[in-house]
């Protein structure tokens, strides 16, 4: 072998010499005499060792000195055992693919590293979450430790992937025994709201329904089992009943998911005593069922009310060993306090001390109150004024510091709504249609008022909502004249805002059927809703209330509300919406604002000079512009200040008490006077003093909120110009 190039050490020269002397020249080929040195990364490599075609091409331009030693971690030996071919490395069993490209290697190609790093880009976070979630579910099925599992899920983090855990938990239990199914249902109830946001639970079940076609390949009875899981979730209050209807809209008609939803509704939720049946569907799979726990809670609460022994009550709470179910203790204690007023004080004391001592955590306490808020309307059937009592309990708990009110749903004290029988509702619908049709012919609002009072002597909220729905439904099927008349009538009837809200909710819920005859139902409903806000039949916040009752992604309700808000945000929205159908409840165009101001001035002058208060109120109603009543307030106040005559103050009082002028319009009118005080003071020197006096009187009378501030008055006083 030729060592003339000088790249071999003296040690290797000696080894080569010894091998040459001991070899049989007849039996050994020259090729086999090549030295087999150790192939560590630091060992020398002959420049003539085999390389891939690509690397050979790159090396052809290197000088011998530069090519002396490679820093690459790849093995340069040819494959043995027949593996590979020309220009390849590695043996038959070599599986290590952990080689790293070295930028200092003379053979380094940056494009190779770029291609290698982009071979696959999985969502590593989600993949990692999936693996850990599977392990947690497997461990839970083995240990049956709800608390430990909840802690593990919390430590896992990534709440945005909660839906996957829900899907994985249910799908893994579907292929197992009843024990695991019951365990899955209990864990879901424990995780709901405490660990997973309700939206994640909702999304998890949505994904399950969508994947039914795949699940049924491995689980033949997937439709029945998943239907039972959804029914159980509805009974356990972790899925809203509206889930079924909303999901149905997103699925293909031939999808197995549709079969799941239909079976859930017809076979389970529609059955008599369905809650008890569903809760016991996997009975016997666990030693303690949900019903057993509820019974134990009920028993020890009753014993506590009689004995007053808190230590015994706390011992019972510990013995239950269901910390994820403590919200049920809160809920049942509150119901018992509402049913037995004499037990209210000891039960609230028990809950307070349980919260302070850590027997019931903050999350479970809030969850118990929230569950009761959700069912308070049903509770009102058995407990008169249940909503008002619950509101007082919430206020007391919050004031004592053991309840976080910000985590609860809003609960406004509302009057109880009268319920009506189906027969009465049907009869009222028939008569309502006749009343509305006659109104479209005559335009007589007073006659309509009289007829409604006769038919709805109890002023039932449900009947009011039916009238609103019928009025707008009939108007949408007619011309602009009838639409304008419907809006004017709605403004004149003075129904409670909640009844009007219920009417619009009913309209939106039936919009799919209405769309068959009226393709522009969304535009019409949005315009009626916007007009109701402009006419102050509804307040802007009522739009959000409507949204919570009939909103869904891509639903008609969502589109109606979105369009309504767009109409109201537009420039000069009040004028445009008022005149959208011609104005005035007839074929004539709407009033010009200057004409309205002139008419308001004349009716105030007429009343001030000795006119009747009823006539003045009638004239204001006939204007049909309730959103402009702040102008009445402004002109009445200015006239009172200028002439120091309080006759017009009496008119404002009558208008406010009768509901003709709303709190919002009253505040707006006072605000307009405050803005023009500087000009008014040029003619009436003590105008600011008088206005401040009337502001205080208005607050005392309840016309203005105490938060109403008179900034210009204060500013003037500070500068000594008062």
| Helical segments of 251-385, H only | 256-263, 274-279, 290-307, 310-320, 326-339, 344-357, 362-374, 376-379
**Which residues are CB-neighbours of 313 under 8 A, at least 6 positions away?**
300, 301, 303, 304, 350
Most confident stretch, 412-421, 443-452, 463-472, 542-551: 463-472
The structure tokens 């009417």 sit at 503
Contact 559, 524 (CB under 8 A): no
Class of domain 419-576: mainly alpha
Match domain 121-277 to its CATH number in 1.25.40.180, 1.10.287.70, 1.10.760.10, 2.40.128.90.
1.25.40.180
Residue 268: per-residue pLDDT: 83
CATH code, residues 591-699: 1.25.40.180
Query: Lowest-confidence range among 59-68, 128-137, 296-305, 337-346?
Result: 59-68
Q: What mean pLDDT do residues 383-402 have?
A: 83
Q: Dump pLDDT digits (tens) for 2-46.
A: 544 455 556 656 665 655 555 554 444 444 444 444 444 444 444
Q: In angstroms, rounded to a whole number, what is the distance separating the alpha carbons of residues 465 and 499?
A: 5
Band the pLDDT of 208: cuts 50, 70, 90.
very high
Say yes or no: do domains 419-576 and 591-699 share a fold. yes
Least confident of 269-273, 370-374, 691-695: 269-273
Beta bridge partners of 78: 89
β-bridge partners, 1: none
* CA 425, chain centre distance (Å): 33
Domain locations in the chain? 121-277, 288-405, 419-576, 591-699
Structure tokens at 478: 């007619």
Tell me, what's the pLDDT at 457? 66
Conformational region of residue 401, where left means phi above 0, alpha means psi within -120 to 50, and beta covers everything else: left
d(CA 380, CA 459): 19
What pTM was computed for the model? 0.34
Q: How far apart are CA 125 and CA 134, in angstroms?
A: 14
Among the four given CATH numbers 1.25.40.180, 3.60.20.10, 1.20.1050.10, 3.40.1180.10, the one describing domain 288-405: 1.25.40.180
Q: Is 78 helix (H, G, I), strand (E, B) or coil?
A: strand
Mean pLDDT, the chain, rounded, equals 75
CA–CA separation, 612 vs 606, rounded Å?
Answer: 9
Backbone angles phi and psi of 647, in degrees to 5: -60, -40
């Amino acid at each position: 072998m030729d060592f003339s190039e000088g790249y071999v050490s003296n040690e290797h020269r000696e080894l080569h010499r010894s091998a040459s002397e001991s070899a049989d020249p007849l039996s050994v080929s020259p090729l086999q005499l090549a030295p087999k040195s150790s192939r560590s990364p630091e060992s020398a490599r002959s420049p003539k060792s085999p390389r891939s075609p690509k690397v050979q091409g790159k090396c052809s331009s290197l000088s011998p000195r530069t090519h002396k030693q490679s820093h690459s971690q790849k093995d340069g030996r040819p494959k043995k055992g027949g593996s590979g071919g020309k220009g390849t490395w590695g043996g038959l069993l070599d599986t290590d693919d952990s080689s790293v490209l070295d930028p200092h290697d003379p053979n380094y190609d940056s494009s190779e590293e770029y291609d290698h790093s982009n071979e696959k880009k999985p969502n590593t976070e989600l993949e990692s979450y999936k693996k850990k979630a599977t392990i947690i579910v497997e461990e839970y099925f083995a240990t049956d430790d709800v608390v430990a599992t909840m802690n593990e899920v919390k430590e896992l983090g990534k709440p945005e992937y909660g839906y996957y855990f829900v899907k994985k938990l249910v799908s893994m239990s579907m292929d197992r025994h009843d024990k695991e199914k019951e365990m899955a249902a209990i864990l879901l109830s424990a995780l709901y709201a405490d660990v997973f946001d309700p939206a994640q639970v909702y999304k998890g079940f949505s994904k399950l329904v969508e994947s039914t076609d795949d699940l049924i390949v491995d689980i033949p009875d997937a439709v029945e089992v998943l239907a039972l899981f959804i029914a159980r979730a509805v009974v356990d209050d972790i899925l809203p009943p509206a889930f079924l209807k909303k999901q149905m809209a997103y699925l293909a008609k031939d999808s197995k998911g549709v079969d799941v939803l239909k079976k859930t509704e017809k076979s389970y939720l529609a059955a008599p005593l369905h809650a008890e049946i569903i809760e016991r569907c996997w009975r016997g799979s666990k030693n303690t069922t949900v019903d057993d726990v509820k019974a134990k809670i009920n028993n020890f609460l009753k014993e506590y009310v009689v004995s007053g022994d808190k230590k015994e009550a706390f011992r019972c709470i510990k013995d239950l060993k269901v910390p994820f179910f403590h919200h049920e203790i809160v809920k049942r204690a509150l119901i018992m306090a509402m049913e037995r007023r004499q037990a209210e004080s000891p039960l609230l004391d028990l809950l307070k001390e349980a919260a302070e001592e850590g027997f019931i955590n903050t999350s479970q306490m809030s969850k118990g109150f929230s569950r009761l808020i959700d069912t308070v309307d049903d509770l009102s059937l058995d407990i008169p004024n249940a909503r008002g009592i619950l509101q007082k309990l919430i206020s007391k708990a919050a004031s004592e510091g053991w309840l976080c009110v910000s985590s609860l749903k809003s609960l406004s004290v509302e009057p109880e709504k009268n319920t009506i029988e189906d027969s009465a509702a049907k009869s009222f619908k028939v008569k309502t249609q006749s009343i509305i049709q006659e109104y479209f012919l005559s335009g007589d609002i007073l006659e309509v008022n009289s007829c409604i009072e006769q038919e709805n002597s109890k002023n039932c909220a449900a009947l009011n909502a039916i009238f609103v729905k019928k009025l707008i439904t009939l108007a949408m099927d007619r011309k602009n004249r009838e639409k304008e008349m419907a809006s004017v009538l709605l403004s004149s009837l003075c129904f409670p805002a909640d009844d009007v809200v219920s009417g619009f909710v009913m309209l939106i819920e039936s919009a799919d059927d209405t769309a068959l005859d009226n393709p522009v139902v969304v535009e019409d409903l949005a315009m009626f809703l916007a007009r109701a806000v402009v006419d102050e039949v509804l307040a802007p916040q009522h739009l959000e209330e409507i949204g919570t009752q009939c909103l869904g992604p891509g639903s008609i309700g969502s589109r109606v509300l979105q369009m309504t808000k767009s109409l109201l945000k537009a420039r000069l929205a009040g004028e445009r919406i008022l005149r959208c159908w011609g104005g005035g409840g007839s074929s004539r165009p709407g009033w010009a604002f200057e004409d309205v101001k002139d008419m308001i001035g004349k009716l105030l002058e007429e009343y001030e000079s000795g006119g009747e208060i009823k006539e003045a109120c009638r004239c204001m109603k006939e204007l049909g512009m309730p959103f402009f009543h702040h102008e009445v307030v402004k002109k009445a106040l200015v006239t009172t200040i200028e002439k120091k005559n309080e006759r017009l103050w009496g008119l404002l009082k009558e208008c406010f008490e009768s509901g003709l002028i709303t709190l919002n319009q009253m505040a707006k009118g006072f605000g307009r006077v405050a803005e023009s005080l500087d000009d008014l003071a040029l003619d009436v020197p003590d105008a600011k003093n008088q206005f401040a006096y009337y502001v205080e009187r208005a607050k005392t009378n309840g016309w203005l909120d105490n938060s109403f501030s008179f900034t210009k008055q204060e500013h003037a006083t500070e500068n000594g110009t008062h």
